[in-house]
Amino acid sequence: MRERLGKFEVVRLLGRGSMGEVYLGRDPKLGREVALKVITAGTVFGEEAEARFEREARAAALLNHPHIVTVYEFGEDEGLHYLAMEYVHGEELETLIRSGKAPKAELLEVLAQICDGLAYAHEHGVIHRDIKPANILVNRHGKRPRAKLMDFGVAQMGPSGLTQAGTWMGTVSYMAPEYLDTAKATISSDIFALGVILYEILTGGRKPFMGDTTTLVLNRILLHPPDPIAPGELQEVPNQLLKVAEQALAKRPEDRFPDAEALGQAIREALKSHLPIGAEMASAARVPPSREGTGQRIRVGKGGNGHCLSLKVALRQAGPGTEIVILPGVYRESVVVDKDVTILTLGEPGEVVIEGVAGPALVIQTRAARIKGLTLQGTPGASALQVTGGAPTIEACTMKAGTCCAEVQGIGTSPVFRDCVFLAEGPAGLRAESGTLARIEGGGILGFLVVGVDVGTGASVSLQGVAVGPGEGVGLKARSRSQATLDGCTLSAEAGSVEVEGDARVQLSHCRLMGSHYAGLLALEHSQAVLESCDIGAHACAGVHVLAGANVVLRQCRLTGNQGFGASIMDRGLATMEGCLVQANGGTGLLIHHGATVQARNSTFADGRSLGVDCSDGGQGVLDGCEISGNAGAGVQVEAGGSLLLVRCTLKEGRDTGLLLLADSQVTLEECVVHRNARGGILLAKEAADPILRGGNRIEDGFLRVDGGGNLVRLAPL
């Protein structure tokens, strides 16, 4: 066994397969463990494995998602081809299904997570083509399982892919009928494979299409329905999942779910019911028919139109499925909702107010309650709303509290807030505690003193179309090992828009992070953040601030008008920028600090009041296809100990020097253009080394060097 592969230290062998070996490795610069797939050139599987490695690396360049294994590097070292990827401490889903040790509900949540990851891959033009339990890794994230989809070695990218027409790729038992007919993979064929896994989870490992030979399996997939599922196999799971599996395994692609996200949503909706086959009849036998059952309506209010005077009394009278309608008024009571009821209001917004008298105004501890239109006011020192169990829906409600407006507690609790307003008169708007999963759609969170959305350790929160702020605190804080997903949100909080603590992960799409006294995104040590198509501006310190060991990916983002840096990547921080615009910032557009690593592709660093890019002592970076223009300071400055590679970059129209090299810096230019800079093209400090020039650079502004007397001397072209 070798001691190193490329830059990676080899620790120990993890396993062997037909095409190579997998080792546990370590990246000495970043201090993280990696999995190293290795093949040996010239073996019988050499060409195919190399093609798979290249395909997996290309897919990785397109994908960055919490439920997809991240590939870091594809390389070759003295005849050994290797693929370095995220090392996941966990087990294959196949092992968990067959062992029967994990609850089926937990395995179904794993599959729903894989649906999320696969939906992301499909959105980016990648079809996996080998979805199966052996390609899904599961580990623990706090007390919740966390799934990772791996092995994109046979994936299809774009309409044509890398394989010839008529060639099957993948595992036969998971192939869709139309794929067996045509060998043309589609999104729907991946969904069929997910349906096979769903069937296996429900049955404890049995496949829907069984046969003693491959030919028989193919025949059953093409011509026969799935084998029936016995009622005894479904004691742990809700009966709705039978219909979900049936739709996912439909013979015709148009009869399946339209996308992986829809399948994942259907699985989660079914899990909310928690009513397995056979339980409906048992429940009916235990609970006698009652006038308070499904279909009943109870009116709460003073006067002749009300059946009772308080919501608490109405809940005592109500049975599952009851609709409770509250008439306008102020109701001073603290209420526990422990039945699956619907609570609605009559009148205009704000006319029905529940004021807590001993703690929160409302505590929801049931799986399927629906609350709409209430204004909830907590007592001093208490929240307005607590959700302590189940998956209730809270719509068009307003929550006011001097502490936290809404608290989500209890492992597995997963409320949905739609078009709600959180008026924080104290520290927080919404707090999600460990093991919870909260979703906020629309509405706003404002007035908070410490944090708008507090994602506790091990919690998961999703925000869509939410306005967070104004508020004095941080808009969203993701604490250790938590996850947050934001889509189409606006965050305008004074202490910062988004703060990500160690080992937490956030993903933002189409969001606006605006106007704080600190940073739009603060990524603390060992955290991860992915931002796509986001606007980040008007922050006093930096648009994006990445600290030691954090990893941030910015795609198609705009970092403009910040008083400080556009993006500052600090000691051991890692950042990737693709297609970004960094413009009109008061400080340096991109600061690569001591020990940091940055890769920027097709990005623009323009019109700043200082440097365009500054690579300081120990920093290293690659700029590929970037434009650096119109900056007041040097377009690019590389300080002592800094190392920078510029490929196909343009440094132009700066009000100072295009490129400034200080002593002991290392710079390589390849196919770059440097022109129309006011002070000159490339300026070398007195003891600076000459840049390395490759591949036909065009340096029109010339070379300058500071001599021993501090004078500028124009040099002949290098």
238 secondary structure, DSSP code: B
Helix (H, G, I), strand (E, B) or coil at 371: strand
Look at the chain and count its residues: 718
Evaluate whether 90 touches 187 at the Cβ level (below 8 Å): no
How far is it, in rounded angstroms, from Cα 311 to Cα 8?
Answer: 64
Beta-bridged to residue 363, according to DSSP, are: 336, 386
Which residues lie below 8 Å from residue 39, measured CB to CB, with a gap of 6+? 19, 20, 45, 46, 49, 50, 53, 80, 81, 82
User: Other CB atoms closer than 10 Å to residue 699's CB: what's the count?
Assistant: 21
Q: How far is CA 61 from CA 71, 337, 599, 601, 697, in A?
A: 8, 48, 12, 12, 27
How far is it, in rounded angstroms, from Cα 608 to Cα 629?
Answer: 9
Evaluate whether 519 touches 541 at the Cβ level (below 8 Å): yes
Evaluate whether 712 touches 682 at the Cβ level (below 8 Å): no
Write out the DSSP string of 572-635: T-EEEEES-EEES-SS-SEEE-TT-EEEEES-EEES-SS-SEEE-TT-EEEEES-EEES-SS-S
Write out the DSSP string of 453-474: EEE-TT-EEEEES-EEEEESSE
Query: Which residue in 376, 363, 443, 374 sits closest to 408, CA to CA?
Result: 363
Query: Which residue in 507, 452, 447 sits closest to 483, CA to CA?
Result: 507
Q: Please classify residue 300 by burial: count the beta carbons closer than 10 Å to its beta carbon, then call 0-12 exposed, 13-18 middle and 19+ buried.
A: buried
Instruction: State the Cα angle at 184 between 180 and 187, rounded to 5°.
Output: 100
Kindly name the residue from 27, 77, 116, 130 that is annotated as catalytic: 130
Known active-site residue 338: no
Helix (H, G, I), strand (E, B) or coil at 372: strand
Which residues belong to the active site? 130
